[in-house]
């Protein structure tokens, strides 16, 4: 069983909610990657999503784009990140999920990429520009190496498509909470709760909400409708500002969820 499945089984048994922070690999250099993941794990993160810097990040908002630019200036590549993860994996216990785009994986070489990721201790991939209609490009290789492809659904996804996508996964389903790119938001669609609950009704795997979540109140509110949240831009920003106490407050907010569904 993949680490992602294991951790969500444990959370479900305890009746808890998940918190998955996103960080950009190489932002500030690769030397701090292990330190940041260790901090997030100790703060209570369920898993960690690690972004790979890319020159055309179509799903990323300004904060993450800027972090990617800083990392690219350090010449950070997917290969560099995988090697770094392999060196720090022995001290990290939570699942590690890479967020990248299709092009870097193809440039690396599909078979070699997933083989190296398995050897490094990577548990999953999020690839926003890989629709389910094209998953055959990577799915066999990922399955063979025991690496889970985390699929995304959006506010405009029909119920039938959500069901199809959910049936393909074993880790969790990534429910995008906004129409657009990543970035902090002061408010969300008035029907967001209904949207998340409707996904929960048709999904056999955990549902995590992401994009735009940036404060403890949003963490608590949105988590009450699903199985947890993914927070990216705010985590990246707080690491850049060295506000570690605020990161701890964000992660701790899932422990105080008012469960309404």
Q: Give the active site residues.
A: 49, 60
- Side-chain half-sphere CA neighbours of 66 within 13 A: 9
Nearest-5° Cα angle at 175, 194 to 1: 125
Q: Which residues, other chains included, contact 238 with Cβ-Cβ below 8 Å and sequence gap of 6+?
A: 244, 246, 247, 250
Residue 163 burial class via C-beta count within 10 angstroms: exposed 0-12, middle 13-18, buried 19 and up: middle
CA quadruple 34, 125, 94, 16: dihedral sign: positive
Asked whether 170 and 2 are in contact (CB, 8 A), the reply is yes
């Amino acid at each position: 069983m993949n680490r992602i499945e294991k951790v969500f089984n444990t959370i479900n048994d305890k009746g808890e909610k998940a918190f998955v922070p996103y960080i950009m690999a190489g932002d500030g250099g690769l030397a701090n990657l292990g330190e940041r993941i260790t901090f997030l794990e100790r703060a209570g993160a369920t898993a960690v999503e690690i972004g790979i810097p890319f020159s055309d990040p179509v799903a990323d908002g300004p904060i993450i784009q800027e972090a990617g630019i800083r990392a690219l200036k350090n010449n950070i590549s997917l290969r560099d990140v995988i090697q770094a993860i392999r060196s720090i994996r022995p001290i990290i216990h939570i699942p590690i999920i890479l967020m990248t785009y299709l092009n870097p994986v193809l440039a690396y070489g599909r078979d070699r990429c997933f083989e190296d990721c398995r050897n490094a201790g990577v548990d999953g991939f999020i690839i926003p520009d890989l629709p389910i209609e094209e998953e055959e490009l990577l799915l066999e290789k990922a399955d063979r190496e025991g690496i889970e492809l985390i699929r995304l659904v959006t506010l405009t996804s029909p119920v039938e498509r959500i069901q199809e996508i959910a049936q393909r996964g074993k880790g969790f389903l990534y429910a995008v909470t906004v129409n657009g790119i990543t970035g902090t938001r002061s408010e969300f669609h008035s029907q967001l709760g209904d949207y998340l609950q409707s996904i929960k009704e048709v999904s056999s795997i955990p549902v995590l909400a992401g994009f735009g979540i940036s404060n403890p109140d949003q963490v608590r509110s949105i988590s009450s409708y699903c199985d947890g949240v993914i927070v990216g831009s705010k985590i990246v920003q707080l690491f850049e500002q060295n506000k570690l106490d605020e990161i701890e407050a964000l992660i701790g907010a899932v422990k105080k969820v008012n469960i309404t569904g």
